[in-house]
Amino acid sequence: MDVVRIFDTTLRDGEQSPGFSMNTAEKIRVAHQLAALNVDVIEAGFPISSRGDLEAVRQVAKEVRTVPIAALARARKDDVMAAVEALEPAAASRLHIFLATSDLHLKVKLNMTREQALESISSMIRLGRQHVGEVEFSAEDAGRTDIDYLCTVCRVAVEAGATVLNLPDTVGYAVPEEYAEMFRRVDASLVATFGANHGITLSAHCHDDLGLAVANSLAAIRAGVRQIECTINGIGERAGNASLEEVVVALAVRKESFNVSTNINLEQLFPASRLLSEVTGAQVAPNKAIVGANAFAHEAGIHQDGIIKNPLTYEIMSPQMVGVPERSMVLGKHSGRNALRLSLRDLGYEPTDVELGEVYKRVTALADEAKQVRPRDVVAIAHEVLRRRSTLAAEATSAA
């Protein structure tokens, strides 16, 4: 079974998004958690952006010794040398060079011709290879790049020494079928030029502007991609990047469909999500897949009854699989008697059927007003209803 490598860019692309900036100490905390998660590469930052970010990347490289550290650089000499400086202490490092390749970006943003772009790509990868053992090249806006030119770009990058080719859907425009086809076309070009065993890793980096980042990443895997670039909680520019937890759990739960695995320690997903929320102050949406507060919460009576009888009825994975301590049975107006009985037992009560019916009536009435019923509300209602039993028993004893 092939292994899909996970390139985590939480500390670089994720941190670039508004409200997610991290200082050096925070980056180091998150990096250690990413190491515990067992990601394959940690992209720690964009050193040329500021001296502070260069030093942050350098400190992460010093502190985290078990995972290769990557640094981003544009195809410019100053960028490349700043990244090289930042990566110098790393036990294992990767230089990540990028240049936009779509005609739109070349003309409007870079004011470069296609030929000038090829020269920059080749010369900067060669420069990088003089200092760092592994170079990855990203063709920014690959999803909107002329496919024949993109194939040329990739051949030039490989000839210059790149061993990883990342073809990002930079603006989240692609749909799964066309994104997968792009990789198939590029791989066919590499095979034609360098042979079937060309040894180049193809990588996908997807943004979520149309809500398709994870779907596009999975489609890329079906097309032979063996590195996915993603972030914890899906943070990133604009609508975010492909969510690491969603990609890796999809591959684990549907292993027979994708026939690949990852090196990720799944039980560290929830701790990683919570740590990032703590560091950034940005909580994930309750309905967020895998790590949201409602991902393993059940309120509907039919669902609760199924979960009580067999969790597989409404859960395709256990909460413990991804590091969530336990599922929760939420008491509300949609809840059923079986879930209420279980909750009462957990609270130390064993009601009769009549008492259960009375508690249920009161709980649902409260839920209509308050939307959600807290455990202390259930205790108060149960105490009042079940106290009648104690009173009647005491009166019977006294009469006897």
241 and 303 belong to one structural domain: no
Q: Evaluate whether residue 265 is within a structural domain.
A: yes
pLDDT of residue 364: 86
pLDDT of residue 390: 56
pLDDT of residue 378: 84
Q: C-alpha 357: how far from its chain's center? A: 44
316 and 176 belong to one structural domain: no
CATH number at residue 13: 3.20.20.70
Which of 280, 313, 344 terminates a domain? The answer is: 280
Looking up tokens 């972030």, which residue turns up?
Answer: 231
Rounded distance, CA 167 to CA 204, Å? 6
**Is the alpha carbon torsion for 264, 24, 19, 141 positive or negative?**
negative
Q: Evaluate whether residue 112 is within a structural domain.
A: yes
275 and 309 belong to one structural domain: no
199 and 317 belong to one structural domain: no
Length of the chain equals 400
The tally of domains found in the chain comes to 2
134 and 199 belong to one structural domain: yes
Nearest to 36 by CA among 321, 254, 269: 269
Phi/psi for 227 (5° steps) reads -140, 130
**Is the alpha carbon torsion for 237, 39, 226, 116 positive or negative?**
positive
DSSP label at residue 111 = -
pLDDT of residue 174: 98
The model scores a pTM over 0.85: yes
Q: Evaluate whether residue 27 is within a structural domain.
A: yes
Cβ atoms 40, 72 nearer than 8 A? no
186 and 231 belong to one structural domain: yes
15 and 96 belong to one structural domain: yes
112 and 36 belong to one structural domain: yes
275 and 303 belong to one structural domain: no
pLDDT along the chain (400 residues), means of 10: 97 92 96 98 98 97 98 98 98 98 98 98 98 97 98 98 98 98 98 97 98 98 98 97 98 97 98 96 94 89 87 93 88 82 83 90 86 81 79 55
What residues contact residue 12 under an 8 Å CB cut-off, 6+ apart? Answer: 43, 44, 45, 46, 70, 72
Q: Evaluate whether residue 292 is within a structural domain.
A: no
84 and 179 belong to one structural domain: yes
Which of 250, 280, 310 terminates a domain? The answer is: 280
Q: Max Cα separation, the chain?
A: 104
Q: Evaluate whether residue 73 is within a structural domain.
A: yes
266 and 322 belong to one structural domain: no
269 and 315 belong to one structural domain: no
* Domain that includes residue 60, residue range: 2-280
